[in-house]
Structure 1
Amino acid sequence: MPVQLPLNIDSVKGFLAPEEGEALYQYALEASQLGPCLEIGSYCGKSTVYLGVACQQNNSVLYAVDHHRGSEEHQLGEEYHDSDLYDDSIQLMDSFKVFRTTMREARLDDTIVPIVAPSAVASRHWATPLGMVFIDGGHSEEAAQTDFRSWVSFIKPGGILAIHDIFPNPEEGGQAPYNIWKLAKASGLFEELPMVNTLGLFRRR
């Protein structure tokens, strides 16, 4: 049975397939009993809603890390640029206002902790163990590797690592998320779980 969300999720901008969102919800429902959850790459809040509703049910929180200036592919002139999210006054992309509107409409202001900063900066003095980390930030090799190195060590035993946009075939999509998925698989730290569409999943040993 599909998860019941407090808003029409199809109205939220984003690139998350419904079955991926429902998998995030189910794993966050379990993981948020271990500790707070964290996502890297919130954009306009589609994945945040799925994760946040699950955390809310356990009176937990979701840290939503995003600088809200867009990934490489969102910039002016790039393939996934959205003019609705472009601030002409400063000539920069800015998804934070739309993100906050999504959180208000989803009634998640008591659950979501937005961290408006680059992933590496947000992690610099981080000390809180996490029940789940969802990586869906920048898709350059440098960005993906930074997200992996910055946050994976904070996942508690039994917790979940989720990585979006896994494309083993280079003709289907970028390889940076797939490369960190391979790092997780080879690390010995995780038990591999079944993939859901392009969502790679692991459980911390």
Structure 2
Amino acid sequence: MLDPATVKGFLDPVEGEALAALAREAGRLGPVLEIGSYCGKSALYLGPAAREAGSVLYTLDHHRGSEEHQAGEEYHDPELFNAELGAVETLPALRETLFRGGLEDCVIPVVGRSAIVAAHWTTPLGMVFIDGGHSMDAALADYEGWTGRIVAGGILAIHDVFPDPADGGRPPYEIWKLAVASGLYDTVNRVGTLEVLRRRA
């Protein structure tokens, strides 16, 4: 297996292992979807787990970078910036990760905006992992677009949830609160900054 530490990204290994365990279970109920592919670090955990469950991982991203990845922002990476286009471009990095990791049989990249893809999506999902843009508009679109696609007993996992505003941005925390208040989910556990909920029957 390709070492996730060699791939650009922001997922803690403990969180990654937790995601893999969830996908092994929830993948039996339907495909797994992650929102926010970036360069494929999380796919290295989720892809093999989905394969073990007899399913696949759909990894969704527009590949132009989140707000914090743009030129001049805190997490901008010049190596992922296409100067000719004047735009962030992470799709080649993802495809390299999937190739080197031997995951092209179980990880399916979906390139597009989350809300647009969600509006045309019909396949029920065993698990949704939200780790896309951290603006309120982006996080809310991810939650509202995909929460209705999760089957009973399936998993909703949200990354970068910080209850204390001093620790990080608020939008993932706000959509987690929406999920808890919706009555649709039971809380499962928290691993690092990863909040896990299960869809009620």
TM-score by length of 1: 0.96
Q: In the alignment, which of 53, 71, 96 is matched to residue 58 of structure 1? A: 53
Tell me how far 1:121 sits from its aligned partner. Answer: 1.1
The one-letter code sitting in structure 1 at the alignment partner of 2:144 is: R
Q: Of residues 155, 174, 177 in structure 2, which corresponds to 1:182?
A: 177
Q: Which of these residues, 158, 170, 173, is aligned with residue 153 of structure 2? A: 158
1:98 equivalent to 2:115? Answer no
Consecutive aligned runs of 4 or more in structure 1 exceeding 2 Å deviation: none
Structure 1: gaps (5+ residues): 1-5
**Count of aligned pairs between the two proteins:** 200
- State the shift of 1:48 in Å: 1.1
Give the AA of the match of 1:83. P
187, 191, 196: which one aligns with 1:192 = 187
Write out aligned runs for 1:75-86 (5 A): 75-86=70-81
Using the alignment, how far apart are the partners of 1:35 and 1:204 within structure 2? 13
Structure 2 residue runs of 5 or longer lacking an equivalent are none
Contact 1:163/1:199 (<8 A) preserved: yes
Q: 2:130 aligns with which of 135, 138, 143?
A: 135
CA–CA separation in structure 1 for the residues paired with 2:33 and 2:181: 23
The separation in 1 between residues aligned to 2:23 and 2:183, in whole angstroms, is: 22
Task: Give me the whole-angstrom Cα distance separating, in 1, the residues matched to 2:86 and 2:159.
Answer: 28
Report the Cα distance in structure 2 between the residues aligned to 1:188 and 1:124, rounded to whole angstroms.
Answer: 23
Amino acid of the residue matched to residue 56 of structure 1?
R
Look up the equivalent residue of 1:18 and give its one-letter code.
Answer: P
Q: Deviations over 1:111-169 (max 9, x none)?
A: 11111101011112111100000000000000000000000101001100000000011
1:148 aligns with 2:137: no
Residues 1:11 and 2:16 aligned together: no
Identity rate of aligned residues, in percent? 56
Task: Give the TM-score normalised by structure 2.
Answer: 0.98
The 2-side partners of 1:186 and 1:71 are apart by 27
Q: Judge conservation of contact 1:66–1:117 (CA < 8 Å) in 2.
A: yes
Corresponding residue SS for 1:60 = coil
CA contact (8 A) 1:56 1:108 kept: no
Helix, strand or coil: the match of 1:195? Answer: strand
Match of residue 27 from structure 1 = 22
Partner of 2:63: 68
